[in-house]
């Protein structure tokens, strides 16, 4: 009994001391304190609430930006050369030559990028428009004396195949992506029987989104597309400005690279066809004001929030804010993030109540990036309650001895 009492006393002392002890501010390799990390919003408040009368984070972020490479705007110098509907390997092509059944039929563009009609030399199709293919067929038919005059020729894409494209640079998940084609085993018999096809799934925007979306430091005014050794520069700013953009159709073998401006651009932190799809918030270790995920009606594992969500919005979505003012409201939360350019991690801790009551909260309220995580800590009074609960268990155990 004496041993148990000593053990309980020692545990009590350790718990009380641990509860009262303060914790150091998390250390970071990046210059977070001076606002020179990936986001200036990572730095901690450096003045009292009463002195919070202006915002500086946006200017601090913008000061590091390299000039836009795409110029004043528009569709970009490479758009005109890549416009229109273009054929790629494995596309299904319907060809009709007048009333001659010899050449009429469906053809698949071969791996070498050609269409092989009976009795004719292979016709180059990769990267070309259907009108160009029609001209080549007509030339071969006349040269081979199949027709004295040019016959009526129809070349139509019956079905666009998926294409494999390399995406690199300022995107969250640079890798080779496969876009377009019919998803899974979905089949539309009416579409299969009809002539024509839609190629929206093979557009540049689809490739950027499939690579995780563009990063906030991306220079979308000068997206680079390499095709057959030629470099084309495309301006995608219209995605965020409500204008037509250079959303060209891609082909198998294309290489896309997004340059970086070396700065955090807040105007890119919003949903768009080239942004990440959103952020998943994983909920765990909830004690106050919710005792668990199920009773808080947020689902068992995650909650999806839109791209552009900030730290304060996220902690509210994970039930880390609110509760009884005197016992559970004064909580803190820690944001775990990683610089997508350098790969260096950062840990940012905030006192939630202090931050949400500041007029200049936007200066210190970071945007969430894909892969970020949040952890919540309970208030001091809640911690004392937990100490009491543990002591009650220890007391019951001691009594049992």
- Going by pLDDT thresholds of 50, 70 and 90, the confidence category of residue 142 is very high
Average pLDDT, the chain: 82
242-254 tens-digit pLDDT: 776 778 999 999 9
Three-state SS annotation for the chain:
CHHHHHHHHHHHHHHHHHHHCCCCCCCCCCCCCCCCCCCHHHCCCCCCHHHCCCCCHHHHHHCCCCCCCCCCCCCCCCHHHHCCCCCCCCCEEEEEECCEEEEEEEEECCCCCEECCCCCCCEECCCCCHHHHHHHHHHHHHHCCCCCCCCCEEEEEEECCCEEEEEEECECCCEEEEECCCCCCCCCHHHHHCCCCCCHHHEHHHHHHHCCCECCCECCCCEEEEECCEEEEECCCHHHHCCCCCCCECCCCCEEEECECCCCCHHHCCCCCCCCCCEEEECCCCCCCCCCCCCCCCCCCEEEECCCCEHHHHHHHCCCCCCCCCCCCCCEEEEEEECCCCCCEEEEEEEHHHHHCCCCHHHHCCECCCCCEEEEECCHHHHHHHHHHHHHHHHHHHHHC
For residues 144 and 172, membership in a common domain is answered with no
With a pLDDT cut of 70, the percent of the chain lying above it is 74
Structural domains counted in the chain = 3
For residues 281 and 363, membership in a common domain is answered with yes
Query: Which residue did the predictor score with more confidence, 25 or 370?
Result: 370
Q: CA-to-CA distance for 329 and 220, rounded, in angstroms?
A: 42
Distance of CA 240 to the CA centre of its chain: 15
174 pLDDT higher than 70: yes
187 pLDDT higher than 70: no
14 pLDDT higher than 50: no
Residue 60 lies in a domain: yes
311 pLDDT higher than 80: yes
Identify the CATH number of the domain in which residue 142 sits: 3.30.1950.10
Give the pLDDT score at 184.
45
54 pLDDT higher than 90: no
110-138 tens-digit pLDDT: 999 999 999 999 999 999 999 999 999 99
Per the structure, the complete domain to which residue 99 belongs is given by 92-159
Residue 284 lies in a domain: yes
Residue 177 lies in a domain: yes
- Going by pLDDT thresholds of 50, 70 and 90, the confidence category of residue 84 is confident
Residue 82 lies in a domain: no
Give the pLDDT score at 243.
75
Q: Degrees (nearest 5) of the Cα angle 13, 14, 20?
A: 90
320-346 tens-digit pLDDT: 777 666 666 678 889 999 999 999 999
Stated pTM of the model: 0.81
For residues 312 and 361, membership in a common domain is answered with yes
For residues 331 and 346, membership in a common domain is answered with yes
172 pLDDT higher than 50: yes
Mean pLDDT for the stretch of residues 355-383 = 83
Give the pLDDT score at 21.
47
284-298 tens-digit pLDDT: 555 444 555 555 545
Residue 210 lies in a domain: yes
For residues 216 and 282, membership in a common domain is answered with no
- Going by pLDDT thresholds of 50, 70 and 90, the confidence category of residue 384 is low
Q: CA-to-CA distance for 205 and 249, rounded, in angstroms?
A: 9
């Amino acid at each position: 009994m004496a041993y148990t009492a000593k053990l309980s006393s020692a545990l009590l002392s350790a718990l009380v001391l641990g509860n009262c002890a303060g914790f150091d501010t998390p250390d970071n390799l990046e210059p977070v304190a001076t606002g020179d990390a990936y986001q200036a919003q990572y730095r901690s408040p450096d003045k009292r609430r009463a002195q919070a009368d202006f915002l500086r984070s946006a200017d601090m972020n913008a000061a590091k930006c390299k000039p836009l490479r795409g110029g004043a705007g528009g569709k970009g110098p490479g758009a005109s050369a890549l416009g229109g509907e273009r054929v790629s390997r494995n596309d299904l092509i319907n060809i009709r030559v007048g009333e001659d059944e010899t050449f009429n039929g469906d053809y698949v563009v071969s791996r070498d990028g050609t269409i092989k009609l009976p009795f004719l030399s292979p016709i180059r199709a990769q990267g070309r428009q259907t009108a160009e293919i029609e001209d080549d067929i007509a030339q071969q038919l006349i040269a081979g004396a199949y027709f004295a005059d040019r016959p009526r020729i129809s070349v139509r894409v019956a079905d666009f195949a998926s294409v494999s494209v390399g995406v690199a640079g300022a995107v969250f998940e640079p890798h080779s992506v496969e876009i377009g084609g019919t998803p899974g085993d979905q089949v539309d018999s009416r579409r299969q029987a009809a002539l024509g096809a839609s190629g929206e799934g093979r557009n540049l925007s689809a490739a950027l989104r499939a690579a995780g979306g563009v990063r906030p430091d991306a220079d979308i005014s000068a997206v680079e597309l390499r095709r057959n050794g030629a470099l084309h520069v495309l301006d995608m700013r219209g995605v965020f400005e409500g204008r037509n953009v250079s959303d060209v159709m891609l082909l198998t073998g294309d290489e896309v690279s997004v340059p970086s401006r070396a700065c955090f651009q807040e105007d890119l932190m919003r949903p768009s066809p080239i942004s990440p799809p959103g952020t998943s918030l994983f909920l765990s270790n909830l004690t106050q004001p919710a005792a668990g995920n199920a009773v808080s009606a947020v689902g068992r594992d995650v909650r999806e929030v839109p791209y552009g969500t900030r730290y304060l919005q996220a902690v509210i979505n994970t039930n880390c804010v609110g509760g009884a003012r005197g016992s559970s409201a004064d909580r803190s939360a820690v944001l775990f993030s990683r610089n997508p350019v350098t790969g260096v991690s950062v840990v940012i801790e905030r006192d939630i109540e202090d931050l949400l009551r500041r007029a200049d909260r936007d200066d210190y309220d970071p945007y969430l990036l894909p892969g970020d995580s949040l952890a919540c800590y309970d208030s001091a009074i809640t911690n004392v309650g937990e100490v009491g609960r543990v002591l009650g268990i220890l007391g019951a155990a001691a009594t049992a001895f």
